[in-house]
C-alpha cells in the first residue's frame, strides 16, 4: 500500500552509517519526533543537523546492540512507551501512528543500549562509600528529617553509579563512532 503523502516525494540518501542509508524521509520523521519531544521549543528551529546526528547515533547504537545480541523484555519497553504516551497526553499533543512506532523503536534502542553498557561496564564501577557517608552526614546536619537513611544512601550510590556509567557510555560510544564509516552525500 502506497502512502499518498510520499507518492510525489523524491527519496534521496543524505548520509550513510556503515552502509545503512539515512534518507530525506528519515530526517523529516526525526524532525517530527524532535518536535514532539521538545514541544516547548519553537517548532521551526529544529535544525536538520540535529536530526541527522540523532539518526546517526541511533543507527550506531542499534547496530552495536544487534551485533552483541542484546534483547530487552518487551514488557519493559512497553511500560516505558506507555509512560511516554501518558506524558504526551498530559501535554495534549497529537502524534501519528508512524511517530508512535518510531518513538517505540527509539525507546527500545535506548533501553537495550543502557542494558548493554551496564553489562559491559558495571563491574568497573567503584563508588566511594566514605564519600557517600560524608554526604549523608552533611545532609543529616542540615535536615534532621531524613526518614529512611538506607534508602537515601542507596539512592546516592545509584546516582554515583549512573554518573560513572554515563561516562563509560559516552566514551564507548565515541570510540564506536570513530571506528564507523559515516558518509554524507550532496
* CATH code of the domain in which 97 resides: 1.10.4030.10
Classify residue 63: in a domain, yes or no: yes
Residue 186 has pLDDT above 60, yes or no: yes
Residue 136 has pLDDT above 90, yes or no: no
Classify residue 114: in a domain, yes or no: yes
Residue 42 CA to residue 32 CA, distance in Å, equals 13
User: pLDDT-derived band of residue 1, with 50, 70 and 90 as boundaries?
Assistant: very low
Classify residue 1: in a domain, yes or no: no
Is residue 172 a contact partner of residue 64, using CB atoms and an 8 Å limit?
no
Classify residue 3: in a domain, yes or no: no
pLDDT value for 88: 86
- Count how many domains the chain has: 1
Radius of gyration of the chain (CA): 21
Classify residue 81: in a domain, yes or no: yes
The 10s digit of each residue's pLDDT in 73-132 is 999 999 999 999 998 888 887 889 999 999 999 999 999 999 999 999 988 888 888 988
| pTM metric for this prediction | 0.84
pLDDT value for 145: 64
User: pLDDT-derived band of residue 72, with 50, 70 and 90 as boundaries?
Assistant: very high
Residue 2 has pLDDT above 70, yes or no: no
Beta-bridge mates of residue 182: 17
The 10s digit of each residue's pLDDT in 41-50 is 555 677 889 9
Question: Which tops the pLDDT comparison, 174 or 143?
Answer: 174
Classify residue 160: in a domain, yes or no: yes
Residues 160-176 have a mean pLDDT of 95
HSE-up (13 A, CA, CB side) for residue 30: 21
Lowest mean pLDDT among 10-24, 33-47, 57-71, 130-144: 33-47
- Domain hosting residue 14, numbered range: 9-184
Locate 51 and state its grid cell: 536530526
Residue 4 has pLDDT above 50, yes or no: no
Residues 33-60 have a mean pLDDT of 84
pLDDT value for 144: 65
Classify residue 4: in a domain, yes or no: no
Locate 12 and state its grid cell: 534521496
Residue 133 phi/psi, 5-degree rounding, is -60, -35
Classify residue 2: in a domain, yes or no: no
Amino acid at each position: 500500500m502506497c502512502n499518498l503523502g510520499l507518492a510525489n516525494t523524491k527519496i534521496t540518501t543524505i548520509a550513510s552509517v556503515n552502509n545503512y542509508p539515512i534518507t530525506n524521509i528519515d530526517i523529516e520523521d526525526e524532525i517530527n519526533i524532535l518536535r514532539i519531544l521538545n514541544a516547548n521549543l519553537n517548532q521551526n528551529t529544529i535544525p536538520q543537523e540535529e536530526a541527522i546526528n540523532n539518526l546517526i547515533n541511533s543507527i550506531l547504537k542499534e547496530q552495536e546492540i544487534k551485533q552483541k545480541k542484546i534483547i530487552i523484555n518487551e514488557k519493559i519497553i512497553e511500560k516505558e512507551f506507555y509512560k511516554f504516551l501518558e506524558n504526551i497526553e498530559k501535554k495534549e499533543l497529537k502524534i501519528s501512528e508512524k511517530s508512535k512506532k518510531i518513538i517505540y523503536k527509539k525507546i527500545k534502542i535506548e533501553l537495550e543500549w543502557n542494558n548493554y553498557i551496564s553489562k559491559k561496564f558495571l563491574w568497573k564501577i567503584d563508588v566511594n562509600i566514605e564519600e557517600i557517608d560524608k554526604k549523608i552526614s552533611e545532609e543529616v546536619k542540615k535536615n534532621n528529617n531524613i526518614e529512611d537513611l538506607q534508602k537515601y544512601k542507596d539512592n546516592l550510590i545509584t546516582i554515583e553509579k549512573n554518573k560513572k556509567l554515563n561516562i563509560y557510555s559516552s566514551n564507548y560510544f565515541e570510540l564506536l563512532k570513530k571506528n564507523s564509516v559515516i558518509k554524507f552525500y550532496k
